Amino acid sequence: MSIPFLVPHTGLLALFGLVPLLCMERIATMLEKKRIWTYHYTAFVLWNTFTTFWVCNATIGGGIFAILANSLQMSLIFGLFRLSKRKFNGSLPYMFLMVTWIAWERFYFDAEISWPWLVLGNSFARTTWAIQWYEFTGSLGGSLWIWACNLSIFGLLVSLSDGRLSGWNIKAKAASVTGLIILFAAPLISSGVIGSGYKDSMESDEKLDVLIIQPNIDPYSKFQAMTQAQQNGILLSQAEKALEYRKADSTAAPLLVLAPETFTNDITCGDYQRSRTWKGFTSFLKDYPGVNLLFGASSYDYISASDAPSYTAREVGKGLWVESHNSALMIDGSAKTEIFHKSKLVVAVEHTPYPAVFCKIDDLLGGVMGRCVGQPEISLLHAGQVPVGCAVCYESVFGEYYTDYVRKGARAMAIITNDAWWGDTPGYRQHLRYASLRAIETRRAIARCANTGISAIISPSGKITERTPWWEPAVIESQIPLRDDITFYVSHGDITGRICTFIFILLLLALIVRFRAS
């Protein structure tokens, strides 16, 4: 199950990657083994470790917690499935396992403490030719396909091992094999048909010129090794060199320049004049009409109050409190400024969950957890007259949330991130490929800017058409198509997750009734 997340073009392995686990459970049950939970919990720990060990590069404690806690939740689902076998017969416990797992994945997308990195449907992030139908189902449709294939193979193996298969007539055998082939092949064929319509998806009557700047600043030493002014100088020198051809050209088409997440930390919300970075950038842009700069920033709201205005506010002086944000700003040479605050925040690093409880604990620990505050709902930024959605880092992992940008009217998407915290590990490559899933689900091209790589242009079919190397300063000059069409997934949301959640609730109630009646 780890291989599809680590090796390109191996997503189809997930279609039978869970079969050994199901076989283990059946054999252990038949042999009346005790403490079977140690088997499946160990399996989930290994899967999480092999796939997401790189989190420990940013935070050892957080990485270990993420691996163990996520594995525990998977194991609890598997334990609930084993419990259901006491009251459900035949294939019903396995259906219960499938819908419970997918309902959990959907819940994880909205939970206060959330780590949906290993959603099963993400297995195809590096095999996008096989899942062009995600524009209808989203990534949870992939989860459903994976479970359906694994359970079908397992069912066939059980019939074979029990000797029941030999008792089937030729029609039953043919129907079984045909059904299995259709289950595997139909999504692949439909993906090929749908994908053929997006071979030229970068072609469009309307396009937006983009300039992606990858400054390659080490985040672990950016505030020790150089000043913010020096960092600004690196970015502006890259921009000046790339924009030399359009200096003072008032007839040039609008152009969007992208800089990475949290590039600066000197932004005061509503009082941008206090920021040297903001003043330097707007002054630079005066010489480049039609150029808009989108960059990431740690931004702050200062509030005067005798008591704390919120659980997340920190006191910085007598009667003065501050709330922090991870923000994206869009500016131009006229000093017009738009700001968006990241809402899907990384637990502990950026966000204190259940702040009414944990902020008090954090205060006792000396304030070690992040307390960023996000927006209650998505808003768009504008490159001239073009509405652009900007997902900040972790937000690009949340499929249904991401569709809100398009529902708000985004004609193209940007992603700004800083993946260098993880080092040269599979983490930044996985994060890049998850953007391909979002492109397919929404059919919006993406301009992705990463501080140290990989920055990229991603087509509406999920194909990476241009990319930078890892850990090198780089610039991409390109165009992305502007689109207005709305996919089924954008329009209707995560129907797969909602249906599976509904079935899970019904089966859970039935299970409870059967236990109470016995």
Secondary structure class of 463 (helix, strand, coil)? coil
Residue 421, pLDDT score: 87
CB atoms within 10 A of CB 462: 28
Residues with Cβ within 8 Å of 119's Cβ and at least 6 positions away in sequence, in order, are 105, 108, 139, 140, 143
Residue 167, pLDDT score: 80
Q: What is the DSSP letter of 152?
A: H
Residue 169, pLDDT score: 86
- Regarding beta strands 464-467 and 474-481, do their DSSP bridges make them parallel or antiparallel, or are they unpaired? unpaired
Q: Residue 249 is encoded by which pair of tokens?
A: 């050209």
User: What's the chain's average pLDDT?
Assistant: 94
Name the nearest CA neighbour of 387 among 236, 211, 206.
206
The answer to whether 295 and 263 have CB atoms below 8 angstroms apart is yes
Which amino acid, 39?
Y
Q: Residue 329 is encoded by which pair of tokens?
A: 């700003």
Burial class from Cβ neighbours inside 10 Å (0-12, 13-18, 19+) for residue 401 reads middle
pTM here is 0.94
Position 136 pLDDT exceeds 80: yes
Give per-residue pLDDT as tens, 82-123: 999 999 999 999 999 999 999 999 998 988 888 999 999 999
Position 443 pLDDT exceeds 90: yes
Cα gap 473→101, rounded to integer Å: 42
Secondary structure class of 255 (helix, strand, coil)? strand
Name the nearest CA neighbour of 135 among 433, 440, 409.
440
Cα gap 11→146, rounded to integer Å: 10
Position 272 pLDDT exceeds 90: yes
Question: For the residues 290-299, what does the mean pLDDT come to?
Answer: 97
Q: What does R_g of the chain's alpha carbons equal in angstroms?
A: 25
Residue 224, pLDDT score: 76
CB atoms within 10 A of CB 289: 18
Cα gap 205→198, rounded to integer Å: 15
Give per-residue pLDDT as tens, 374-416: 999 999 999 999 999 999 999 999 999 999 999 999 999 999 9
How much of the chain, in percent, has pLDDT values that exceed 70? 100
| Segments of 332-455 assigned E as strands | 337-341, 381-383, 386-392, 412-417, 446-450
DSSP codes joined into one string, 7-27:
STT-GGGGGTTTHHHHHHHHH
Cα gap 475→468, rounded to integer Å: 8
Q: Using pLDDT thresholds of 50, 70 and 90, give the confidence band for residue 202.
A: confident
Q: Using pLDDT thresholds of 50, 70 and 90, give the confidence band for residue 250.
A: confident
Helix (H) or strand (E) holding 266: strand 264-268
Residue 221 CA: distances (Å) to CA of 21, 212, 226, 228:
44, 23, 8, 12
Position 165 pLDDT exceeds 90: no
CB atoms within 10 A of CB 333: 18
Residue 55, pLDDT score: 93
Give per-residue pLDDT as tens, 349-373: 898 999 999 898 988 888 888 999 9
Give per-residue pLDDT as tens, 234-244: 999 999 999 99
**For 58, how many CA atoms within 13 A lie in the half-sphere containing its CB?**
24
Cα gap 199→117, rounded to integer Å: 28
Give per-residue burial for 128-153: e unless 16+ CB within 10 Å, then b: bebbbbbbbbbbbbbbbbbbbbbbbb
**For 378, how many CA atoms within 13 A lie in the half-sphere containing its CB?**
23
